[in-house]
Structure 1
C-alpha cells in the first residue's frame, strides 16, 4: 500500500491576548506532529487494524520512564496542551455536535488549572478529553501503540478490528470488517465475532494495534485465532494462513436476459485492493468484446478497502469534469472536489447492486455513478461510512487519532451515518433503467 497523504501539524502563531479560540501553546517550533490521513486511501467501516501505510512515517522513539531528575523534553501540561491544540485546529464534529471552540477553550482552562504530576496522568487526561468529543473514531494511542502502528506491516488475514468496552470498562475486540473470501473469512471468521486469543495469547484489554502485531507474520505461515461467534455464540479456535499477496477481487460473466435478447455484463467487486482497478478494466473490456450492452456492478457486501482505488474505479464510468466525491473538513486541504479527468471506458447503462454492507469506498463509487446519472442503484440502503481520520504524533511518541473530514456525494448528501438510498429494491426491466437514466440526465427546469 502506498500513497498515504502525510500532513504536518504545527501550532499556529499566538494570537493577540483578547483572542481565546487559539491560545498560545509552549510548543517548540522544531517539533511537528506527524499526521497520516488514512481515511483518504484505506477505509473499512472502522479505522482500527488495517488502515496503515506501507512505509513508516517519521516518528521518535518513546522516551523511557526513569527516576532521573533531568528536565523532560516536553512537560506533562505541554503534552496535554499539544493534544488539545490538534483537536482545536483539525477536529470535525460529524456526530453528536458536542464540540465548539468556545466549549473546547473552557475545557482547556479546566484541565490545566491543576498540576499534572505524571506522564501517565497526562495520558489519562488526553483519553478523557478525546472521549468527551463523542466521536467513536477519535482516540489516544500510547507510545507503544503509535510505534507499532508506524512500523505496521499488513498481516494478510483480512480482518478489521473494533475496540468495544465491556461492562467493567475493559476492552474487547470485535471483527467489524472482513474481506470476503480473504484468509480469515475462508477459514471461518465472521463479521461480529469477538477475538479472544491469538496463538494462545489472551487479548482481553489489549488494543486493536497490539492485537494487530500478534496477527503479523511471514507470508504463508499460519496464525491461530480463538473467536466467539456472536454475543452468546460458541467459542472456536481457527487456523488462518497469512496471505500477503493480493488476490483479484473481480469476478465477471456474460448473462443473457430477456429470453436471451439482452446480453448483460455482470461484474462482482469484492473489495478495493491494489488489483481492483486493473482487473476491473480487463473484465469490462472482455465483456464489451463479448457483446454486453448493459452492465451490472455488484457491490453488495463490499466493505471498502483502498479509497483511492474506489475513486479511480468511479472515473472509469464518468465523463471528464464529472465530480466523483467532495471532501469536507476544517483544513483547507480537505475542502475540495475530486473530479474525473478521463473519458469513460464504457457508455452502456449500469446497474449497481448495493446492500447494508456496502460501505466506504463502495459508497463513493455508488454515489458517484448515481449522482452523475451513470447508474441506477438497486437493493438496500448502504452502510453509511464516510469519515476521514488522521493520526498525529505527540511530543513523547504517543499519538491521537482525530476525525478531520468526511465525504459528501456529488449531490451534496452526507454519506456518514446516512448511507445511500437505492432507486429500486428489485431489479427493474432494462427499458425502465434506460428511461430512468435518460430522465436523470435531462436538465432540470428551474
Structure 2
C-alpha cells in the first residue's frame, strides 16, 4: 500500500490541475451469483465497461512498428487450430438440431430481453414493438446457427442500447473461464469518412498501464499484437488486448486525426495501485485545517486507503474535508457504495437501483453510523462518472456534503450477462441507478451547488439548512 502525504502551508486550497480528461470509462464491474434464468453469469455495472470483458490472448515479442502491418505472428498455427476448433464446434451445433433448434435460441434471446431489458429510449423500445419484432424474426428462415446468431445481433442492435449485445459461444466461454486483467483502456467505435469502423480510445484509467505508457484519449487504435483492428468491433479488439497479468501486449495508435503513429509495449496489470492522494491545507491564517483528498478511481484499495488518509488528516487537525472526484470515471461500484457509507447515518439511502425485475429494484442503505462527521466539499466535473456520481449524490442528498464544479457525466446503467442454451450469451441492460432524492443519473448527470469554491461559512450554512429541511 502506498499513500502519498504532502503537507502544504498554503493559505488557500489549490487542488492540483486535473489530468487529461477522459470520458466514460471507468471501469466499473459488480459480480453477482449465478442465476437460474437462464444462466446469469455476471452483473456488470456501468457503461463503457460494455467492452471490458475478460479474455486470454497469447503474447509474444513483436517487430518494430514499421513492419507491424505486414507481420505474421509465429503463433498463427495455434490460432488456426483454435479457429478450426471453433468452426468444428459451430458445425457440431448446426448438425445437432436435437440439442436446441435455431428458432429456440433466437426465441430464448428474445424472451430474456422481453423479461429483463430496461429501455431508456422509448422511441426504440416498447413491449409492443418488441412483440412485433418476435413475429417478424420467427417468420424468417433460420437454416444455420450462424444465421440465428446474426439475427440475434441485429435484434439487439435495434434496441438502440450500446451496452446490450450478443456474445458468441467462444466469447462467452472465454469470459467465463479466465480471470484476466487489462491495460486500463476503453474503446468506442466510430465510422470513418467511408463508413468503415475505426476504434478510438474513449477513456483511460488514470495512471493505468496504457496511460502510463503514453496512450491518450482520442488516439485511434491501429494494431494489436500485429493484428490490424480496422473494421473490428471494440469487443473484438479488447479480446486480443486482454490477457494474463504481468504479460505484455503491443498496441499501435495514431495520435489525433493527423498525428504520428506510435507503438507501445504495455504490461497488463492486476495489482491495484492506491488511488488516493492527500495533503493538509492551512486556511484562514492557519486557524482552519482542511484535509484535501484526491480519489482517482474506485479500485480494490479505494475504501481502505481513503479511510487511512482521512484518519491521518483528522489526527493532524483537519476540521473540513475536500473530496476531489474530478476526472474520476468510476471503477468498482461496490467500493463507491462502501465509501459513501463512511459519511452517512444508519438507515440513510446510498442509492436506489431501478429495473423491471424485483431483484434489480433495491434500496441500498448505510447499516451503521458514520466514521467521519466533518463537513465535506466534493469537487466534480463533466468527467465525474458512475461510482463517483453515486458517492457525490449519496453525500449531497443526505446533507453531508456540497458539490462544487461542473455538471457530472451522467452514467448509471446496470448490465447482466445471460447464457443461452447453445453456449452463446447476451449482455442486457437490466437496471439503472437513482439518487436518494430520486434523480435518474443516467443521461442527466448531477448539477453542483456551486460553480466556484464557496466561503467556508457558506458551506456550514448550506449543510445546516439542508439538514433542517430534511429534519
Confirm or deny a common fold (TM above 0.5): yes
Q: Residues 189-233 of structure 1, C-alpha deviation per residue, up to 9 Å, x if partnerless? A: 122322211122212233434333432344444322111223443
Secondary structure in structure 1 of the residue aligned to 2:335: helix
- 1:33 is aligned to 2:54: no
Could you tell me which of 116, 125, 140 is aligned with 2:166? 140
The SS at the match of 2:51 is: coil
Structure 1 residue 146, shift from structure 2 partner: 1.7
Q: Is the 8 A contact 2:29 2:332 kept in 1?
A: no
- 1:22 corresponds to: none
Q: Return the alpha-carbon distance in structure 2 between the equivalents of residues 168 and 152 of structure 1.
A: 37
Which residue, out of 328, 340, 349, partners 2:354? 328
The 1:182/1:410 distance shift into structure 2, 3 A limit, reads same
Once structures 1 and 2 are overlaid, which stretch shifts more, 282-291 or 395-404? 395-404
- 1:381 alignment partner in structure 2: 407
TM-score (norm. length: structure 1): 0.87
CA spacing shift, 1:51–1:318, aligned 2, 3 Å: farther
* Structure with greater contact order relative to length (CA < 8 Å, sep ≥ 6): 2
Structure 1 residue corresponding to 2:185, chosen from 156, 159, 176: 159
* Alignment correspondent of 2:232: 206
| Partner in structure 2 of residue 8 of structure 1 | 35
- Segment of structure 1 superposing worse, 271-280 or 198-207: 198-207
Matches within 5 A, 1:344-359: 344-359=370-385
Q: 1:38–1:388: 8 Å Cα contact kept in structure 2?
A: yes
Q: 2:286 corresponds to which residue?
A: 260
Match of 2:48 in 1: 46
Correspondence 1:130 to 2:130: no
SS at match of 2:48: coil
SS of the residue corresponding to residue 104 of structure 2 reads: helix
Within 5 Å, give how 1:20-419 maps onto structure 2. Answer: 32-39=38-45, 43=46, 45-50=47-52, 63-66=89-92, 69-166=95-192, 170-419=196-445
TM-fit CA distance, 1:67:
9.6
Q: Which runs of 5+ in 2 are unaligned?
A: 1-27, 57-85
Structure-2 change in CA distance of 1:81 and 1:165 (3 Å):
farther
Q: 1:414 to 1:69 in 2, by over 3 A?
A: closer
For residues 466 and 94 of structure 2, the distance between their equivalents in structure 1, rounded to whole angstroms, comes to 70
| TM-aligned CA deviation for residue 239 of structure 1 | 2.3
Q: Distance in 2 between matches of 1:325 and 1:53?
A: 31
Q: Shift of residue 35 of structure 1?
A: 3.8
The separation in 1 between residues aligned to 2:177 and 2:231, in whole angstroms, is 22
Measured after TM superposition, the shift of residue 439 of structure 1 is 0.7
Please give the alpha-carbon distance, in whole angstroms, between the structure 1 residues aligned to 2:158 and 2:434: 25
Against the structure 1 CA distance between its residues 279 and 195, is the aligned structure 2 distance closer, same or farther, given a 3 Å change threshold? same
Report the counterpart of residue 12 of structure 2 in structure 1.
Answer: none
Deviation readout 1:91-150 (Å, 9 max, x if unpaired): 001134422212211111111123211112111111111111111111111222222222
The question of whether the paired residues in 1 share the 8 Å contact of 2:51 and 2:235 is answered with: yes
| Residue 169 (structure 1) shift | 5.8
Alpha-carbon separation, structure 2, partners of 1:37 and 1:359: 19
Where do 5+ consecutive residues of structure 1 fail to align?
11-31, 55-60
CA contact (8 A) 1:327 1:337 kept: yes
Identify if the C-alpha distance between structure 1 residues 443 and 266 changes in structure 2 by more than 3 Å, giving closer, same or farther: same
Aligned-pair CA distance for 1:236 = 1.7
8 Å CA contact 1:318–1:344 kept in 2: the answer is: yes
Secondary structure of 2:33 counterpart: strand
Q: Is the 8 A contact 2:29 2:44 kept in 1?
A: no
* Higher deviation after alignment, 239-248 or 281-290: 239-248
Distance 1:342 1:68, change over 3 A: closer
Residue 431 of structure 2: SS of its match in structure 1?
strand
CA distance in 2, matches of 1:162, 1:145: 19
Q: CA shift at 1:50, angstroms?
A: 2.8
1:20-59 deviation line (CA, Å, top 9, x unaligned): xxxxxxxxxxxx33341111xxx4x4023335699xxxxx
Question: How far did 1:297 drift?
Answer: 0.3
CA distance in 1, matches of 2:96, 2:453: 71
Task: Name the structure 1 match of 2:462.
Answer: 436
SS of alignment partner, residue 356 of structure 1: coil
User: How far apart are the structure 1 equivalents of 2:419 and 2:354?
Assistant: 23
- Give me the whole-angstrom Cα distance separating, in 1, the residues matched to 2:420 and 2:243: 28
Q: Which moved more, 1:191-200 or 1:297-306?
A: 191-200
Moved more, 187-196 or 275-284: 187-196
Is the contact made by 2:54 and 2:242 (CA closer than 8 Å) also made in structure 1? no
Relative to 1, partners in 2 of residues 1:190 and 1:95: Cα closer, same or farther, differing over 3 Å? farther
Mapped contact 1:48–1:208 kept (Cα < 8 A): no
| Counterpart position of 2:79 | none
Q: Give 1:335 shift.
A: 1.0
Contact 2:94 2:145 in 1 (8 A): no
C-alpha distance after superposition, 1:390-441 (max 9, x if no partner): 1111122211111100000000000000111111111111100110111111
